[in-house]
Amino acid sequence: MPASYKLIFRISFGHAFFADGVLRDLRIVPVPACFDKLRRAGLVLRPQEDGIAAYGDEKAVERLRFHIAAAGRSLGMAFQVFFTDPHFFEYTAPAWPSGKLLYLDTADSVTDETGRKIVHATPFVEASAFLERDHARLACILGERVLAPTPAMVLRVDLSSGLLDVIDSRQRHFHVRFDAAGNRWNDGRPGAGGAQAGSNEPATDAGIERFAGVNIADRRRAHLFVPKGAVQMREVSPPRFRRRLPLPVMEKAAFGRLSSPGPG
């Protein structure tokens, strides 16, 4: 990352099931409106080990301030979150309600005892954060059409002038943490998990395959959202389905059709 770029915001995902507390198997996709805001500002969206981070230079920050002032309120950057580990819902608490989506907003963040910004008021994501698919807070983000595939989670980043004025980059770093269903590690060392009650099996994640990690909509390492004004316009010729014949050849072909005898 160039030295002129600074952190705009970062989202990290954690999980109590894993020894290192890091949730890596994610696919994070900006909703169309968010994609447009990122492009208009000229931000760089880069995947991290545990989430995503957005960076921008001074011009990008100025564009963000302009759009915030024009809107008269903070900008909402919404992302769809897909959990790519097929076992995720088996080792995650609370249980995922059928037909509901998890919705979190950084505007609701609190600061824990270590100074980290936590997107939920409790140590882990709680059941009250799930909303119906047609809930008003989701409808204005996802629209009326049913997305395919439907994300399991929607995360909104509240991008305000106050967030841009923050000097300590840790205050731009937001954390989401899931609790483990049943088994949980006792400390951060691999293999230190305790056994689940009523089971002789150790509580380890050795049987859980670790997938490729975080990606943003595809497998590119980062997305560069170039501002519209910086894109050079170029003329694109329309597709041609057949080669146009020279004028004398076309007249000769037409004369041949007219002079040819008809049937009978």
Statement: the pTM of the whole predicted model exceeds 0.95:
no
Q: What is the DSSP string of 187-242?
A: SSSTT-BPPPTT--S---STTSPP-S--BSSSS-S-EE---GGGSPP---PPP-SS
Nearest to 192 by CA among 178, 181, 202: 202
Q: Residue 249: inside a domain, yes or no?
A: no
Domain count, the chain: 1
Q: Residue 247: inside a domain, yes or no?
A: no
Q: Residue 240: inside a domain, yes or no?
A: no
The CA distances from residue 97 to 79, 103, 106, 126, in Å, are 20, 13, 22, 12
| One-letter amino acid for residue 78 of the chain | A
Question: Helices 58-71 & 32-41, crossing angle to 10 degrees?
Answer: 130
Residues 6+ apart with CB under 8 A from 41: 56, 60, 63, 64, 67, 225, 227
Per DSSP, helices labelled H in the chain are: 32-41, 58-71, 136-142, 161-165, 247-259
Q: Residue 244: inside a domain, yes or no?
A: no
Range of the domain at 226: 6-231
Q: Residue 109: inside a domain, yes or no?
A: yes
Q: Residue 62: inside a domain, yes or no?
A: yes
pLDDT per 10-residue tile (average), the chain, 264 residues: 89 95 92 90 92 95 94 94 93 91 95 92 93 84 68 94 92 96 51 35 38 51 53 43 55 58 54
Q: Residue 238: inside a domain, yes or no?
A: no
Q: Residue 253: inside a domain, yes or no?
A: no
**What pLDDT sits at residue 71?**
92
